[in-house]
Chain A
Amino acid sequence: MGAGLALTLIAGCGGTTKGSDAAVGGDDKAGGASANPDAPLKEGLKIALLPKEIDNPYMTVMDKGGTDAVAELKGTGKAVGPSDAQASSQVSYINTLIQQGQDAIVIAANDPNAVAPALKEAMSKDIAVVTLDSDAAKDARQVFVNQASSEEIGRSQVKLIADQIGGSGKIAILSATPNATNQNTWIDFMKDELKKPEYAKIELLPTVYGDDDDQKSFQEAQALLQKNPDLKGIISPTTVGIAAAARYLSSSPYKGKVKLTGLGTPNQMREFVKDGTVTEFALWDPGELGYLAAYAAAALASGQITGAEGEKFKAGKLGDRTIGKDGEVILGPPTTFNTDNIDDYDF
C-alpha cells in the first residue's frame, strides 16, 4: 500500500500510471457458455485463417492444412492476410472477418497485444477465436494450438547445434522479428539450456534479426560471419532465416565449416542438406498445425468445447485431443530432418 502510494507520488500528480486501477483492463474472458461434448460438429461453418503474412511458404502450407480440414467438415474455409509481418497489419483483416460474419477466426498473431482488442470484439460477437503457431494475449482467444512445447523446441535446437560443432565455440541466433512471440520464447529456452555445464564451452553471441525477410536475413548471416570469422554455428529458428542463411553459406568459403541448424521446411532446405551446407534441422508439419487448429475452431463454433482445460475434441486424422492449461493444445514433438529422411517429406 505504502509502496503503491509512493509510486503514485513519484509518477507525479496522481495521474494514470502503469498498474493503477484505471490502467488495468477489466476484461474478463468472454464466455459463461458451457460446453456440450456431445454436440455434433456443424456443417457449413465459415472458418477463416489469418496467417502472419500471406506469401510465407511455411504459412501457406499451414493455411492449406486448415482449409483442407474445413473442407472435410463441409464448411467454407479461406486464408486471408497481410503481405508484411508488421504488428498492426492483421487488425484490418480481423475487423473485416467480423463484418463478414465468419464463424471462426484462426490466427497466427504477429503481435500478441496489437491484435487483442480486435479479437476480443470478435469473441464478443460469438466468433470462435483460435490462435496457432504464435499466440495472442491469453484473454483474446479461446484455444492456442502450439506446434510443440516451446521448451522442447528451444532446448532441442541447442542440442542439435552442440552436436554439430563438437560442443565448443561461438554460436549465434538469427531470428525473425524482434517481437515474434514464439521465437523469443524459444530463444529464452535456448539461453537457459546453454547454462548447463555441458555447454560451458559454447559462447552465444547477441541475437540478430532478419525480420523474416529473405534479403535482410541473408545480409544478417553475411554480417555475422564478417564480424565473427571464428563463428562455429548459427541457429535460425525461422524458416525464412534458415533458408537465407543456408543460401549464403552454400556459396561462401564457410560452407560445411560453419554449421547451421534451426527450423526449416524440407522443400526449402533439401538442396542445402544434399550439398553438405546443412547437416540436420527440425520442424513440425505446418499443414498438420493448420489442420488441428481448424478442427479446434470447428469444435468451438459448434459448442463442443469452450477452451477450458480438460475438454476433449476429435481432430480428424490426428485423433482425439485434449485441451491443456491456458487453453493450449499441443501438436507434438518436432521432426528432425537429415540426408536419411528428407526425401520422405514434401512441404
Chain B
Amino acid sequence: MNTVLAKALRWESVLFVLCVLVFAYGATSTGEFTEQGNLSFLLLDYSEVALLAFALVPIILTGEIDLSVASVLGFCSALTGALWDAGMSFETIVPLVILAGVVLGSVNAVLVVRLGLPSLAVTIGTLGLYRGLAYVVLGDRAVTGFPENYRPLATDSAGFLPYAAVVVAVVGLLVALLVHATPAGRSVFAVGLGAGTARFSGIRVGRLKTALYLLSGALAALASLIYTLRYNSARADNANGMELVAVAAVLLGGVSIFGGRGTVAGVALALLAMAGLRNVLFLDDVSNEIQNVITGLLLIASVLVPVVVKPRRTKDVPLETTSVDDGRRPGADPDRGVRRDHQGV
C-alpha cells in the first residue's frame, strides 16, 4: 500500500513540477501571462473541459469510459437554446437541462451495465447519437440573448478567480472526496482492479457504474450551462470534440485507462498544466497545429515515461491476477493485473 501511495505521489510531483515549469515559462516569456485578466481567462477557458474530466475520472477508474460527455454537453446546450427560445424562464431551464443530462447518462448506463455491452463501443455510439439529437432539438440555429443577470456567473471573476472556476473547484473537491474518502470510492478502485473480485466481495458493481454514468450526465449538463452562458450562444455543435481533451487530461493526470489507479489531484494538476500550456502557446503565437502536436506528445510521454523508467515491477503485481475475473462482459480483461503493471504511473 505504501509503495502504491509513494508511486502515486511521485507522478503527482512530476505533474506539479510540470505546472511550475509551464507557469514559470509563461511568466518569463511574455509579460502578459501573469496579468490578472489573463490568469482568469486561462482558468475560464478550461472550465468545461475540467468538468468533463472530473465526470470521467470515477468512470475510468472502474475500467469503463464515457466518450459521449461532449455530445451530452452539446445536446444540453441545444436544449437550453430551444427552451429559452420558446420563452421558458431560465430558472426552469436549469433543472430541466440537468435532468436531461442525467437521462442521457442513464441511457449509457442501461447499455453498458444492464446489457453488458463494452462502454467504448456504446459511448462512441451515443457520442454520435446525442450530437445528432442536438441537431434534432435545435436544428442549425444558434440561440443567443441569454439573461444578463446570469451570464456574469460564467464570464466574470472575483479577482483573478472566475466564478466558473470556483464551481469547477467545488466539483473537483466533491469528486475527490467521493473517490478517495468514501466506501463508494473504495468500491470504484476495487471494480477497476477486477470487477469479478469486486462482485464476489459484495460490491454492487452494476449499481455503482450506473450511478457514475448518471453523475457524468449531470456534470456534462452543468458544463453545458457554463458553456452556453459563457459564449452566449446555444448551438448543436458546441464543444464538438471536447471529449478527447478531457480524456487526455484524465490520462495525463495518471489515471490508468484500464482502471483501478489514479487520483483526482493528479487530474487537477494535469488540467492546470494543459490550460497553462495552451495559454502560453497562444500568447507566443504558436499555431493550433503545433499546439496539438505538443499536447499529443505530452500525453504519449505521460504513459511512456513510467514504462521506460521502470520496466520491471513484478513485485507489485496485485493479487487479482489469480482471481476469477468476470468473463461475462466482452470488455472484461482477464490480464488486467498484468497490463496494469505496464501502465504504471
Contacts and interface: CB of A to CB of B under 8 A. Distances in A.
A138 interface: no
A33 interface: no
B145 interface: yes
A111 B149 contact: no
Contacts of A268: none
A87 B35 contact: no
Interface stretch (A14-22, A147-155, A196-204): A14-22
Interface of A is mostly: loop
A131 B84 CA distance: 28
B106 interface: no
Nearest to B89: A15
A112 B232 CA distance: 10
B45 interface: yes
B314 interface: no
A257 to B, nearest CB: 30
Contacts of A137: 144
Given A12-B92, A111-B142, A113-B231, A83 B32 contact: no
Contact of B88 (A17, A22, A81, A114): A17
Contacts of A336: none
A99 interface: yes
Contact of A209 (B35, B140, B278, B279): B140
Nearest to B91: A15
Given A16-B89, A209-B140, A179 B235 contact: yes
B41 interface: yes
B92 A82 contact: no
A15 B88 CA distance: 8
Contacts of B35: 99
A95 interface: yes
A91 interface: yes
B233 A23 contact: no
A147 to B, nearest CB: 22
Interface in B137-167: 139-142, 144-150, 155
B34 to A, nearest CB: 10
Nearest to A95: B41
B37 interface: yes
9 contacts: A7-B87, A11-B87, A26-B148, A80-B285, A80-B287, A96-B282, A99-B32, A100-B283, A111-B142
Interface of B: 30, 32, 35, 37-38, 41, 45, 84-85, 87-92, 139-142, 144-150, 155, 227, 231-233, 235, 237-241, 278-279, 282-283, 285, 287-289, 292
Given A13-B92, A87-B235, A92-B282, 12 more contacts: A11-B88, A14-B89, A16-B90, A18-B85, A23-B90, A25-B145, A78-B285, A80-B285, A87-B142, A88-B238, A99-B38, A113-B232
